[in-house]
Amino acid sequence: MMCFVKKGNLASASKLGFPPLGKLSLPLVILVLAALVYSMYGFEGVLLRNYSIYLYSGHPLAEGAPPYVSVFDHKGPLPPMLAGVGVMLSKWLSWDDIYTVPLVFFATGCLTVVAVYLLGKNVFRSQVAGLFAALTFLGFYGYAQPATSGPEPKTPMVLFQTLSLLLATQKRWFWARFFDSLAFWCGSPWEFFGGGLRSSRYAVSRRTIWRRVSRFGRNNDATSSRSSILLL
């Protein structure tokens, strides 16, 4: 069963719901709201085993050791790299890394809420729909609580997911696949989303499918190669 949303209703609601704002005003408000809501969970949660592995893996990476050399983990290398950024921040700011590393993932969680707003606004052409999507996402306890309690790899993975979807709706395929590749480096299950993104990109016309197959392969190989070079 398929459901259709009338574009005119959302468009008229957006005109009645908000006064004219700058392009960055409402996203900044949502960012501040996300920071306030997520900070209510506190940064003193239980440091689980997986969180401690990422926290420890950030120290060798901050010293210049490549992933999987000093500490081997079967998951993607990008979350330990983000933990390494938090360790470097702790040295620059003279803070405890037990707090700076979760702060990096906390920032990615707040940016995810803004990305969800932009995705809803772009899909439905309505600020009301984007705001409703962001407020709904703020209520997801399963995402909010790990965003502050520890370096959860799914926190940046969902951010890259949302950015990939946002760019795919704008038909900016290179950057959509780029963020899809970054999401893959956060966890191997994310590759299933990449397959769906690749399929949706070319489900447009049967006459153009075969003509675009070769170019599609070259573009995806180039994007994955650039992502690998970035990690190296």
Structure confidence by residue, pLDDT tens digits, 34-83: 999 999 988 777 777 777 788 888 888 888 888 887 777 777 788 888 88
For the ranges 93-97, 126-130, 188-192, the one whose mean pLDDT is highest? 126-130
DSSP state of 214: H
Residue ranges per structural domain of the chain: 22-231
Q: Which structure tokens are listed for 91?
A: 């040295």
User: Distance between CA atoms of 113 and 96, rounded to whole angstroms?
Assistant: 27
Which one-letter amino acid corresponds to residue 79? P
Cβ count near 43 (within 10 Å) = 14
pLDDT(212) > 70 = no
Handedness of CA 86, 88, 93, 95 (dihedral sign): positive
**Per-residue pLDDT tens digits for 116-150:** 999 999 999 999 999 999 999 999 998 998 888 87
DSSP state of 66: P
Between the CA of residue 69 and those of 66, 73, 123, 173, what are the distances in Å? 6, 10, 43, 33
How many percent of the chain have pLDDT more than 90?
A: 26
